[in-house]
């Protein structure tokens, strides 16, 4: 295994995971309107809170799927019909769909947990805020195609692709929240 092969494994792991990384940022742009929990509470606390809306969910979800299709298209055009790890169009579409909507479901689960332990909407929950989307994306994608997840992020040197994702996610979360704050899309820089 050459160092270049390992770099390619890590970059491919990031490229293939981009459809999971876009939706939560896109949800900030598309979000607003009716909350997913319809304003309802459970045991005195909101089920999810006003930070999870239907528009954010579907706007973010379809933005992620669209990005995935564009990534497949780029590979297809520049590499003579290859899809760079998405296997084939239908498998790729399924993976992209699971990554995208899984990331939003994970984000919802994160908010659900935050409300249950008494953290208000928009207040920080370290680790959970950073990784809830990633956990959701991997869980849904494992249900759909576990061998793809294993081959791409676990098997042998591919574990480095996962470790790379975990590190990039921390950095990107920080950067995106600062951008969101500066552009006025978010009220707080976290
Ligand atoms: N958003 C949305 N719908 C979603 C996810 C996000 O509308 N399904 C929008 C909301 O405007 C939200 C913003 O994106 O405020 C940022 O998302 P996030 O940081 O996940 O939500 P918070 O407001 O911080 O709420 P929570 O404490 O529940 O995470
Ligand atoms: Mg937040």
Q: Would the CB of 114 count as within 6 Å of ligand 1?
A: yes
In this structure, the residue with its CA closest to atom 16 of ligand 1 is: 28
Calculate how far, in angstroms, residue 92's C-alpha sits from the geometric centre of ligand 1.
27
Q: What is the pLDDT of residue 22?
A: 98
In the block, tokens 């528009």 appear at: 55
β-pair partners for 35: 53
In this structure, the residue with its CA closest to atom 28 of ligand 1 is: 111
Which residues, 6+ apart, have CB-to-CB distance to 75 below 8 Å? 82, 83, 84, 86
Q: Which ligand is nearest to the CA of 190?
A: 2
Q: What is the pLDDT of residue 133?
A: 98
- Measured between alpha carbons, how far is 81 from 25 in angstroms, rounded to an integer? 30
Q: What is the pLDDT of residue 179?
A: 93
Q: What is the pLDDT of residue 118?
A: 97
Mean pLDDT by 10 residues, the chain (190 residues): 96 98 97 98 97 98 98 95 94 98 98 98 96 98 98 98 98 93 87
């Amino acid at each position: 295994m050459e160092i270049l092969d390992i770099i390619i494994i890590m970059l491919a792991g990031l490229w293939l995971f981009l459809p999971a990384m876009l939706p939560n940022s896109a949800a900030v742009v598309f979000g607003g309107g009716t909350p997913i929990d319809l304003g309802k509470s459970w045991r005195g606390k909101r089920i999810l809170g006003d930070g999870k809306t239907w528009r954010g969910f579907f706007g973010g979800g379809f933005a992620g799927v669209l990005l995935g299709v564009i990534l497949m298209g780029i590979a297809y055009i520049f590499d003579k019909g290859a899809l760079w790890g998405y296997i084939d169009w239908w498998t790729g579409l399924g993976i992209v769909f699971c990554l995208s909507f899984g990331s939003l479901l994970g984000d919802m689960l994160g908010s659900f947990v935050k409300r249950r332990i008494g953290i208000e909407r928009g207040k920080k929950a370290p680790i959970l805020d950073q990784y809830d989307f990633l956990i959701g994306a991997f869980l849904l994608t494992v249900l759909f195609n576990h061998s793809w997840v294993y081959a791409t992020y676990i098997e042998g040197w591919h574990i480095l692709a996962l470790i790379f994702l975990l590190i990039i996610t921390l950095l990107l979360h920080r950067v995106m929240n600062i951008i969101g704050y500066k552009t006025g899309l978010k009220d707080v820089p976290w």
